[in-house]
């Protein structure tokens, strides 16, 4: 930290011995907790999980436990690829994007891709309640936005073309990155109203399953 040569010296009284000790204990414990949370962010061991469980009354409220936040930017797996959700109102109508991206607010756009990625993480299990609840929420959202319940919702993955294809070394794949063959439907549901008027979703088969956790190489 820079210190101004002509700056006034400390305007704050140094703490008493007791306060000094208390601060030192707090800083030591806090730094240990930070170290634990950071090292347990990715593939924690059972010991780390147990310790994280014990410290969560302190770590969770302050968001010190980052809970698998991807600081690695990408691992090149299918889950790291772009996912998005589309809906349609009838069989003869086109598919519409669930959310329009907001170009000026990249954090808002990133939020949508994280939500879609989270859905992709859960569709691997057909009985997964999280995927069902997320698609019901999406159907309700479409109903509020358009005034009509969608007939179908689908989660799609837009796979990246390989470098070899882009460089012209592999002609077996389409060179256009937006070619339809790069878009894979990972999950599709039919949206229905049950007799009580609640929205329910029925997963459709056959589904193209994500290859998670295998890397796409």
**183-212: which residues touch another protein (CB under 8 A)?**
none
Q: Which of 166, 190, 193, 202 is close enough to bind another protein by CB under 8 A? A: 166
> How many whole angstroms separate alpha carbon 67 and alpha carbon 46?
15
CB nearer to another protein: give 8 or 195: 8
Q: Are 94 and 88 in contact (CB under 8 A)?
A: yes
> How many whole angstroms separate alpha carbon 47 and alpha carbon 49?
5
CB atoms within 10 A of CB 207: 17
Which 3 state secondary structure label does DSSP give 207? Answer: coil
Closest distance between another protein and the C-beta of residue 92, in Å? 26
Q: Which of 44, 66, 203, 212 is close enough to bind another protein by CB under 8 A? A: 66
> How many whole angstroms separate alpha carbon 2 and alpha carbon 184?
54
- How many residues bind another protein (CB under 8 A)? The answer is 85
Residues in 81-100 at the binding interface with another protein, rule: CB under 8 A: 81-82, 84, 98-99
12 belongs to the binding site for another protein (CB under 8 A): yes
Q: Which of 177, 204, 208, 209 is close enough to bind another protein by CB under 8 A? A: 177
44 belongs to the binding site for another protein (CB under 8 A): no
Q: CA angle at residue 8 from 6 to 11, to 5 degrees?
A: 165
Closest distance between another protein and the C-beta of residue 126, in Å? 17
Q: Which of 46, 72, 127, 196 is close enough to bind another protein by CB under 8 A? A: 72
> How many whole angstroms separate alpha carbon 116 and alpha carbon 85?
7
- Region of 44-52, 140-148, 187-195, 204-212 interacting with another protein (CB under 8 A): 140-148
CB nearer to another protein: give 204 or 216: 216
CB atoms within 10 A of CB 121: 16
> How many whole angstroms separate alpha carbon 67 and alpha carbon 193?
36
- Region of 147-155, 166-174, 185-193, 204-212 interacting with another protein (CB under 8 A): 166-174
Closest distance between another protein and the C-beta of residue 151, in Å? 18
DSSP state of 77: B
CB atoms within 10 A of CB 154: 20
């Amino acid at each position: 930290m820079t210190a101004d040569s002509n700056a006034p010296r400390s305007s704050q009284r140094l703490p008493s011995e007791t306060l000094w000790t208390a601060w030192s204990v707090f800083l030591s414990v806090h730094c240990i907790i930070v170290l634990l949370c950071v090292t347990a962010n990715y593939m924690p061991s059972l010991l780390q999980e147990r310790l994280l469980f014990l410290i969560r009354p302190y770590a969770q409220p302050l968001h010190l436990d980052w809970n698998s936040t991807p600081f690695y930017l990408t691992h090149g797996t299918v889950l790291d690829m772009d996912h998005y959700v589309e809906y349609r109102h009838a069989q003869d109508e086109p598919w519409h994007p669930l959310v329009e991206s907001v170009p000026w607010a990249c954090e808002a756009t990133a939020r949508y891709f994280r939500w879609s990625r989270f859905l992709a993480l859960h569709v691997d299990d057909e009985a997964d309640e999280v995927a069902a609840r997320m698609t019901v929420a999406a159907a309700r959202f479409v109903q509020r936005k358009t005034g009509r319940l969608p007939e179908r919702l689908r989660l799609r993955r837009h796979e990246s073309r390989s470098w070899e294809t882009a460089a012209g070394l592999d002609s077996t794949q389409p060179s256009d990155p937006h070619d339809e063959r790069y878009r894979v439907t990972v999950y599709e549901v039919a949206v229905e109203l049950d007799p009580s008027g609640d929205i329910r979703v029925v997963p459709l088969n056959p589904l193209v399953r994500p290859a998670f956790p295998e890397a796409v190489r």
